[in-house]
Structure 1
């Protein structure tokens, strides 16, 4: 394959990140077409040299020159676009979740397989250098037998209520990244999920049918346990930490800060604040994620994150909802 030609559906925050990386930092690829409902997003794509822009995604599906489609549109459109892309014979890069419904997500993966096109689900944190280093160390037995995993994921501010209402809820929108990371680090499957949560930040979130604070306990087939803590608001900024404890030691990831400058005076020592949000914290992971997608296409290799990974994350998110509602642990079949 010569230059890989890509179409992008959606020019929101994620679509813009992928467009910038593809147009300025990744070789052997050309973004030829962008579909976005607003002219603002279309104009943004034009500034990066995209020749074809439209408010209709059919401009991408109907173009025989396009090799791959990035689905960066709202979550409730992912399944329809993924199936449409598969039927058009295009490789697929799909932001999470594949769909809000587990059954619909399974249908998508089956249809993509039937069309024999590659599909990658975007769990960008797997490509973060820190998380990836921990994964490799665990896989190589550097800390012996893993006994426990602790993941902390807290946003600096909750999203808008309009977003909350269409997000699928905390477990499918936010925790799903941590559920995937837990599977990724452990290298085995979850056998049981227990979830508890409440609305501690904004009553409007509860009125919208969601929670903003949660704790999950996962049991794995290797006997280890993981604890995931989530909050929609941390006063001190974006909080993304992880610790793995094993028979021979411990691995820990702390928050990167705005700068590495520290100060000391009679009142104590002080460091800088946390990074603002995911766009800053995971800038490198978004680039590496897209580089791996392009490389897999160009060399016809297996995708680094499969549709099945997306399915398993949704299974765990739905188990978390069931556990929260029923106030009991949920076995994973």
Structure 2
């Protein structure tokens, strides 16, 4: 089977990570081009990427390129998705597609019209431990899901400037957890009740955001969910899930640098969790890209659809409305 040829739009932190994975860890693909208005030319040269530039349209105009990875700043995602679709390029787009549901729907309509493939970058679905829990649910081994519990805490808060432009905690951070809730439950979220506070950094509050949240969920299948978020856990990146069902429960704990446990008269000591998302989800980033490449090569559906990109945004917007109104809010469908 022939290689597919890809280009990357955006060479910031996430674009560089995907580039390294495509160059070294993903099979069946050739990375030909990377563009960024502020491209780090020295970095690109060190990777021996054949074609580099500042204008993403050079990727769209290249007939050799089969698929495009969009890793540019979030406001550019939807317009660039439309451009890629119109150019006949398959698309891997980092989350979020956009923060406005109508903008997302318009972009998805263009993708559907052109018939290209689209995968949205919710990488946590590809974490081996989280995927194993989901498989337990899907197989029926846990019976009917009753409670979905997700804990997500960052090691350090973002700057107030970042918080002010991020769309807020629910659209920036919790959006991954909303996707995970749908993934684990196998059901749509129908209602959200969110509570939030500023307990980590007062400057985040002055920027109009929160840094601590509890969100309760209701699912179409009758299950309940709880998501807990914090922008700062002093012990590291805290990422845990549990699905409790009528026949049992399945949990996934934090990953640590080693599995060593020291036990002595002073107590028991083990490693802290891996520091942040680049370390914690390294395997998942590779797996999601391999899944996209395989879907393009084999002409099969991608595992994270455009609707999977829209649904967490709708949940996040309902959570914002709930937070402001201090009441449960139905999620738009």
Q: Distance in 2 between matches of 1:269 and 1:28?
A: 45
- Which residue of the partner structure matches residue 88 of structure 2? 89
Any residues of structure 2 matched to 1:261-272 within 5 Å, and which?
A: 261-272=260-271
Deviation, structure 1 residue 65: 1.3
Q: Distance in 2 between matches of 1:162 and 1:4?
A: 39
Check the 8 A contact 1:19/1:45 in 2, yes or no: no
Check the 8 A contact 2:191/2:219 in 1, yes or no: yes
- The secondary structure found in structure 1 opposite 2:234 is coil
- Which residue of the partner structure matches residue 31 of structure 2? 31
1:59 partnered with 2:58:
yes
- The secondary structure found in structure 1 opposite 2:195 is strand
Q: Distance in 1 between matches of 2:125 and 2:310?
A: 16
Q: TM-score, normalised by structure 2?
A: 0.97
Any residues of structure 2 matched to 1:159-174 within 5 Å, and which?
A: 159-174=158-173
Deviation, structure 1 residue 8: 0.3
Check the 8 A contact 2:149/2:227 in 1, yes or no: yes
Over the residues paired in the alignment, what is the CA RMSD in angstroms?
A: 1.1
Any residues of structure 2 matched to 1:66-81 within 5 Å, and which?
A: 66-81=65-80
Check the 8 A contact 2:11/2:39 in 1, yes or no: no
1:260 partnered with 2:259:
yes
Moved more, 272-281 or 20-29: 20-29
Any residues of structure 2 matched to 1:198-213 within 5 Å, and which?
A: 198-213=197-212
Q: Distance in 2 between matches of 1:186 and 1:277?
A: 25
- Seen in structure 2, the aligned counterparts of structure 1 residues 201 and 256 have a Cα distance that, compared at 3 Å, is same
- Which residue of the partner structure matches residue 145 of structure 1? 144
Check the 8 A contact 2:145/2:246 in 1, yes or no: yes
Check the 8 A contact 2:256/2:273 in 1, yes or no: yes
Superposition misfits of 4+ residues, deviation over 6 angstroms: none
Q: Distance in 1 between matches of 2:86 and 2:126?
A: 29
Q: Distance in 2 between matches of 1:28 and 1:245?
A: 38
- Which residue of the partner structure matches residue 248 of structure 1? 247
- Which residue of the partner structure matches residue 21 of structure 1? 21
Moved more, 88-97 or 61-70: 61-70
Any residues of structure 2 matched to 1:1-333 within 5 Å, and which?
A: 2-40=2-40, 42-333=41-332
Deviation, structure 1 residue 128: 0.6
Q: TM-score, normalised by structure 1?
A: 0.97
